[in-house]
Structure 1
Amino acid sequence: MDTRKEKLPYGIPGHNLSEIERDIPIEEPPVWPINDKLKIIGKRVSRIDALDKVTGKAKYTSDLKLPGMLYAKILRSAVPHAVISSIDISQAQNLKGVHAIHLIENARKEGEENKNGKYPMVKYVGQPLGGVAADSLAIAKDAISLIKVNYEEKPFVIDLDSAMKSGSPIVFDEPITQQQDGGDVGETHDGSKGTGNVRGPSTSSFFGGPRGDLEEGFKEADVILERTYRTQVQTHMPLETHGVVVDWKPDVMTVYASTQNTAAVRNEMASIFGLPKSKVRVICEFMGGGFGAKHSAGSFGPMAANLAKKTGRPVWLMLDRQEEHIAEGNRPNSIQYLKMGAKKDGTLTGIQQRSHGTAGVALGAGVGRIAQVLYPCPNFATEQYDVLTNAGPGAAWRAPGNVQGAFGLEQAIDELAEKLEMDPLTYRDHIDKSEVRKVERQRGAKLFDWSRRKPAGSAKGVVKKGLGVGQSTWPRFVTLDSTVEVKIHNDGGVEIRSSVQDIGTGTKTILAQVVAEELGLEVTDIKVNIGDTFFPVGPGSGGSVVTGSITPPTRNAAYEVKKELLKLVAKKWETDSSNLSIANGEVSNSKNAEHKMSFKEATKLMRTSQIAKVVSRSDDYGGFQQPWGLAYGDLGSVQFAEVSVNTDTGFVKVDRVVAAHSCGRPLNTGQLESQINGGVIQGVSYALYENRVMDNSTGHMMNANVDQYKTPFSMEIPQIDSIIVEEYSALSSTDAYGIGEPANIATAAAVANAVYNAIGVRIYEIPITPASILKALNKV
């Protein structure tokens, strides 16, 4: 590959900004300066689809109404563990308005139809068994109620602690494999390892395996801390539930999906039904929330497709709120043991981690990599185990594993600091080698006024104030399977096309910003067409991967079409195209001040109707840590929390959170703040409210609704102050990354540390409820 050497901005403005020389592919565009010198990038640009959303013009999957469309409902298991002896559909078949019934043969292969009376083994309440398509949703529900399922019930286990015991009912007596989920980048292991319901352990990650000698590390320690922390199961509750509308015509299956990954859904549906990818089209123009569980076609996608195939009509299948809670993913719980050693000066000498968690009938219940990489420690080992239970499967949930891991690690760091008689923030300054988190701590502490923090438990009065801090790290993931087409039309229009979806984070807007900046136009001049697999393939929205993957090829494609357009203008002006530039919608010639032409005028010089370039993501400048796309550096955050704890009632109120974050080059400050706000709110909810409550005697979730499944309402949401730290790593033509994951990781830990500072008693389990506060204070 031909390259050229260029100097790029490197470091943090206002702190250590410098330049670094990189070898850049010859075809890549010139280096952008820092944001202060750009017109559109890094600014607070309104979302280009905001008006459509607030006026109701935007149509989500659940809003679609196609000609002749039928409505579907899924038949689900009413028991947690059973063999099905028979399913009687006769009454449902005879119900007026019912057009098709589809029963599943094998729960592990959703596309297989039951033609031989081979029913799936039931493993959890809510497991899909079949489906009905009818003229209306009400009729479909009635038909489901008429289907009689005869179960031969078997012993089951729901509780994590019980499932780990010898003699517990066995969930699976055969090896199982990690589910394919593009959003799950947590720890994985061989599902055949282990005994009983315990599978694993996972002892390594893409950052490597065990290091050093733990025994020697703990011998060197002057202070040793051993603690066990517990986190709960958190279920997904986006405003728009999972679902699809499938319109299966002879030439193509069109799937309108509420999804975080149009390409993955296409690939899955093509595989299940034996179709070429070219004959499956997945569309997601607007999506009403997804936090990691919407990467696959699920059970509902194949079900809708089977019903559409049988009836020859489009089928609408959206899950209700109860189904969303019990069957479509959750953040697994954890019991995590940490043993940490440190010298008198605070240097860490050893970290031992052991965790158990349940993702129900799935794998992926680890506590992530945060203890392995956040703080340098020469001696480290982890064992992360999955425990199978008869409950709905876990799924990726905004920083899989790392949120649970941070709750334990960051409390342990605070306790170590106290044992060493050091301020928690000062201690992190001492042991954390990240330069960007150092700046985040400095700027965050100043805005938060950390200096007012008092010793733990010293607050007076019934309502006690407390201050806490927590940190996070998240890898920079890049997928090279990120392709963009940029077109300039001969009427002056500019179009972007990619299958990448916008799940509400503002992807459409940042793509328009990148192209507008490169072409010297306004954001409103750019038409963004994404979320359709008939366009070039784009990345799934998971792992904070989209911005770092899709914006460089977007800029590079815009640069390529700009070069072609400027060649036409140069020919007309009889000059070299290198003398030409576009700014404020006008082409100009640096060698001749009289040469000026509007962008629209320039496009009329085209001999064809358009100039189009398709560009895929290239390797980072300087390569990757791992060749599959693990970039150098990380996405760090530091969050400060202020709480009020009523020691009479146990009520905890998070009053304020200051969240300092970095994501490389910030592209849109307003959207970044929105992402941080959402992450903090979810983190507060995780710390204080959300908790799946299961009935161990029936296997049913008792709060599968929006009433008893507690989340914070407006009065419980704290004041959130965001600090966005620009950090240039000189890794791509945009040098930008996402912020979805780190915005959520540190919050619960910061809240827990603040609660301890308020009452002087540490809480090792979330959610932190009034009952747990009163118990800790010996008041109940």
Structure 2
Amino acid sequence: MDTKKVKFPHGIPGHNLSEVEREIPTGEPPAWPINDDLKVVGKRVKRTDALAKVTGAAKYTSDIQLQGMLFGRMLRSNYPHAKIKSIDTSAAEKYDGVYAVHVFKNAVGMAQAKDGGNSAGFPDVKFAGQPIAGVAAISVDVAEEALKLIKVDYEYLPFVVDLEEAQKPEAPVVFKTDVDQEDRGGGGGGQSGLKTKGNLRGPSTSSFFGGPRGDVEKGFETADFIVEHVYRTQVHTHCSLETHGVVVDWRPDNVTIYASTQNTNSVRHEFAEMFDLPKSKVRVITEFMGGGFGAKHSLGNFGVMAGHLSKKSGRPVSMMLDRKEEHISSGNRPNSVQYLKIGAKKDGTLTAIKQKSHGTAGVGLGAGVGRIAQVMYECPNFSTEQYDVFTHAGPGAAWRAPGNVQGAFGLEQAMDELAEKLNMDPLALRDVIDKSDVRKVERQRGAKQFDWSRRKKPGSDSGTVKKGLGMAQSTWPRFVNLNSTVEIRAYKDGAIEVRSGVQDIGTGTKTILAQVVAEELGMKPEDITIRIGDTLFPTGPGSGGSIVTGSITPPARNAAYKLKLELFDQVAKELETVSSKLSMSGGFIVSQEDNSKKIAVKDALKKMRTEQITTSASRSDDYGGFKMGSFLAHGDLGSVQFAEVSVDTETGFVKVDKIVAAHSCGRPLNITQLEGQINGGVIQGVSYALYEYRVMDNETGHQMNGNLDQYKLPFAMEIPEIETIIVEDYGGRSSTDAYGIGEPANIATAVAVANAVYNAIGVRIYELPITPDKVLKALNKI
């Protein structure tokens, strides 16, 4: 491959901005300057789909209406553990208005045992809510009535839904053999090949950052101070505004799936694999989607069932989960019981970190506490043991920074405790042990805006309602998916169209693609038509792990650059110059030698020799290479959160008054959308800190709060004032140098709140959520 050397902005404006030289492919565009010198990128651009959303013109999966469409519902087990002896669906099949009935032979979305399953040919029931059969009928009501006619003969078995109880030797076993679970594009899974003993699987002792390092025990021997505690976090279920669901339209020559998904490509792959179809016969469309925070990557049992019912009936089938199904079966953030021991010298230098965790993802995998303790701070000696504990409960799934939110709750409280032992300010300790330049700037700018200097000694605030200030940090890798392609079409009528299979899950992917292409072509974002979320278009990455922006915007710019060069070639002669002396600005192609010589882009397109020009580009390797493999870029997505709380020491009620959130994501593309993402992450973090948790009944194995009445979420009055600080951090690693913000916005919030609560009352709470009873218990008032 031919290459050229190009200088890129490098560093943080106002701190250490400089230049770096990179060797890049010859066909890729020159470096953009920093955002201050750009016209569209880095600005507050209105969402391209804003009007469609506010007027109701936007069609979500639940809005899809097709001719002859049926409605699917699934029969779910009312028992948490059982063998199915037989199933009789004859009465349901005869019920008026029913067009198809299907019985599962295997359920998906959970860990798979190697013991062969139920010899009767049915899946073993392993949690209350596990789908068994499905019905497609002319209405939801008819389908629900038909489900009642299905007769299932169960052999009931003992069960366990509590993390602590499941670890006891006499506990009912969920899986009798070793298990594995495939990672469906971010929708679950865990390290393969680990051993299962009883309900305990593991330990996992490494990540893609490597395994143990140094000698932990020797590290503790050299420590002057040691912090050692157990921290607990809860099971946290998904509550997206739009529940999981699909509409499957099975035709003889192809299948079209309208899906509420974070990953059109993954759903197509799974469906084709499940039904033994070539991918070319499966089309997945996600034009609009009502939220997804990690659990919507895979096809799911609902998608598989809709496929069978549509195939059998010959009609489209809509299968949307209701709110209870969403809680009990669509995935959750696993809980954790994590032990942390951290040693340090008198100057704050860390000598050792030892971590051990247990968590349950129910009948799934992925209940670890992430990599944050391994990578955020400089420490020569580190070890971790992370165990999955199986219980008879719905499977876990990815949930906005899987594991790292739980891990941060322990790590960042421990760091604050260590700072107190060292008689250091929490920020000063992090200045010693954190080598991240971007987090250093975030600490400085955040502390100034938050006025950290007003923080008092823990518990020293007077009065019944005590104020407290706290902070915490996070890190998240810069992931890249090379399987990211963009096609751009320019038509004779002047239209510019961008196409990719990548989906917009509500974060604004359509808008940033329009911005990037408009910036390159010297046009306005509204001049660019964006068509994405359709697997007929070139493959795009799944939306998870903050991966989309860094993966899809470089090929978008590169494809636009190719289009620009083709247009230059076509008009250079008319403008009496050569193509290398042309530029695009304000909707015109302009001669750099004589600005009076120019032609409107629309007029240039009219002169094309063909009806259209099509260019495309795929994500190339990072400039200078990847940090690891072909998926992990250099640098990280750092954040620092500051929290101010009020704690009523008579009622135990905690109110989060204010959050200042300082974040980086490389080159910011759309400030308004970034602020929206950060605001959303903060709100979810506050909710996780104070309100949300799954309540299981040990006697029945059922979730007791599988609704939006008893499963508590914050209302408008409980949402704090949120101020954002966005730090530009240029690395010169791609043609846009931009990354996502989804995960970091969520990781540090809950633990910043916990640290603020400690500062308010002078007693530390080691378990989430921080409910009034826990506060009063900590204050010895109950």
* TM interval, short-chain normalised: over 0.9
Aligned to 1:17: 17
Is contact 2:194-2:204 (8 Å) kept?
no
Secondary structure of the structure 1 residue equivalent to 2:573? helix
| Cα distance in 2 for residues equivalent to 1:184 and 1:64 | 24
Aligned to 2:173: 170
Alignment of 1:359-378 (within 5 A): 359-378=361-380
Aligned to 1:424: 426
Matched, 1:681 2:683: yes
- Give the structure-1-normalised TM-score: 0.98
Aligned to 2:760: 758
Matched, 1:85 2:72: no
Cα deviation 1:93-137 (Å, max 9, x = unaligned): 222111111001122499xxx999622110001111010000001
Is contact 1:476-1:634 (8 Å) kept?
yes
Aligned to 1:150: 153
Aligned to 1:127: 130
Alpha-carbon distance, 1:70 to partner? 0.3
| Cα distance in 1 for residues equivalent to 2:573 and 2:188 | 51
Aligned to 2:648: 646
Matched, 1:462 2:464: yes
Matched, 1:500 2:497: no
Aligned to 1:745: 747
Is contact 1:589-1:595 (8 Å) kept?
yes
Cα deviation 1:634-674 (Å, max 9, x = unaligned): 00000000000000000000000000000000000000000
Alignment CA distance shift 1:355-1:710 (3 Å): same
| Cα distance in 2 for residues equivalent to 1:253 and 1:24 | 41
Alpha-carbon distance, 1:189 to partner? 2.5
Aligned to 1:30: 30
Aligned to 1:8: 8
Alpha-carbon distance, 1:184 to partner? 5.3
Alignment CA distance shift 1:716-1:115 (3 Å): closer
Is contact 1:191-1:363 (8 Å) kept?
no
Aligned to 2:98: 98
Alpha-carbon distance, 1:775 to partner? 0.4
Is contact 2:181-2:188 (8 Å) kept?
no
Secondary structure of the structure 2 residue equivalent to 1:571? coil
Is contact 2:84-2:120 (8 Å) kept?
no
| Cα distance in 2 for residues equivalent to 1:349 and 1:775 | 34
1:157 maps to a residue whose letter is V
Aligned to 1:71: 71
Alpha-carbon distance, 1:179 to partner? 3.1
Alpha-carbon distance, 1:191 to partner? 5.2
1:4 maps to a residue whose letter is K
Alpha-carbon distance, 1:58 to partner? 0.3
Candidates 749, 766, 769, aligned match of 1:767: 769
2:126 maps to a residue whose letter is K
Alignment CA distance shift 1:134-1:115 (3 Å): farther
Is contact 1:194-1:201 (8 Å) kept?
no
Candidates 193, 198, 201, aligned match of 2:200: 198
Alpha-carbon distance, 1:33 to partner? 0.2
| Cα distance in 2 for residues equivalent to 1:594 and 1:397 | 55
Cα deviation 1:156-201 (Å, max 9, x = unaligned): 1100001111111100002211232212588x32355131100001
Is contact 1:104-1:129 (8 Å) kept?
yes
Is contact 1:72-1:304 (8 Å) kept?
yes
Aligned to 1:265: 267
Alignment of 1:205-604 (within 5 A): 205-604=207-606
Alpha-carbon distance, 1:469 to partner? 0.2
Aligned to 1:118: 121
* Aligned residues: CA RMSD: 1.3
Secondary structure of the structure 1 residue equivalent to 2:283? strand
Aligned to 1:632: 634
Is contact 2:188-2:397 (8 Å) kept?
no
Alignment of 1:726-741 (within 5 A): 726-741=728-743
| Cα distance in 2 for residues equivalent to 1:694 and 1:574 | 76
Moved over 6 A (4+): none
Cα deviation 1:562-612 (Å, max 9, x = unaligned): 100111110223321011111000111112233121111111121101111
| Cα distance in 2 for residues equivalent to 1:541 and 1:471 | 23
* Structure 2 unaligned regions, length at least 5: 111-116
Secondary structure of the structure 1 residue equivalent to 2:253? coil
| Cα distance in 2 for residues equivalent to 1:294 and 1:69 | 23
Secondary structure of the structure 2 residue equivalent to 1:299? helix
| Cα distance in 1 for residues equivalent to 2:227 and 2:19 | 42
Aligned to 2:43: 43
* Structure 1 unaligned regions, length at least 5: none
Is contact 1:481-1:539 (8 Å) kept?
yes
Is contact 1:556-1:733 (8 Å) kept?
yes
1:536 maps to a residue whose letter is P
| Cα distance in 2 for residues equivalent to 1:326 and 1:191 | 27
Matched, 1:664 2:660: no
Cα deviation 1:727-773 (Å, max 9, x = unaligned): 00110000000000000000011000000000000000000000000
Secondary structure of the structure 2 residue equivalent to 1:588? strand
1:134 maps to a residue whose letter is A
1:350 maps to a residue whose letter is A
| Cα distance in 1 for residues equivalent to 2:531 and 2:107 | 36
| Cα distance in 2 for residues equivalent to 1:395 and 1:166 | 27
Aligned residues: 776
Alpha-carbon distance, 1:429 to partner? 1.3
Matched, 1:182 2:178: no
| Cα distance in 2 for residues equivalent to 1:226 and 1:479 | 38
Secondary structure of the structure 2 residue equivalent to 1:572? coil
| Cα distance in 2 for residues equivalent to 1:115 and 1:490 | 62
Cα deviation 1:75-109 (Å, max 9, x = unaligned): 11110000111222232222211111100112249
Cα deviation 1:443-486 (Å, max 9, x = unaligned): 00000000000000101100000000010000000010000001
| Cα distance in 2 for residues equivalent to 1:687 and 1:494 | 46
1:232 maps to a residue whose letter is Q
| Cα distance in 1 for residues equivalent to 2:184 and 2:45 | 32
Alpha-carbon distance, 1:399 to partner? 0.1
Is contact 1:181-1:395 (8 Å) kept?
no
2:478 maps to a residue whose letter is R
- Give the structure-2-normalised TM-score: 0.98
Alpha-carbon distance, 1:544 to partner? 0.3
| Cα distance in 1 for residues equivalent to 2:441 and 2:187 | 30
Is contact 2:647-2:655 (8 Å) kept?
yes
| Cα distance in 2 for residues equivalent to 1:594 and 1:555 | 27
1:251 maps to a residue whose letter is D
| Cα distance in 2 for residues equivalent to 1:250 and 1:56 | 33
| Cα distance in 2 for residues equivalent to 1:496 and 1:286 | 16
| Cα distance in 2 for residues equivalent to 1:184 and 1:734 | 28
| Cα distance in 1 for residues equivalent to 2:137 and 2:596 | 69
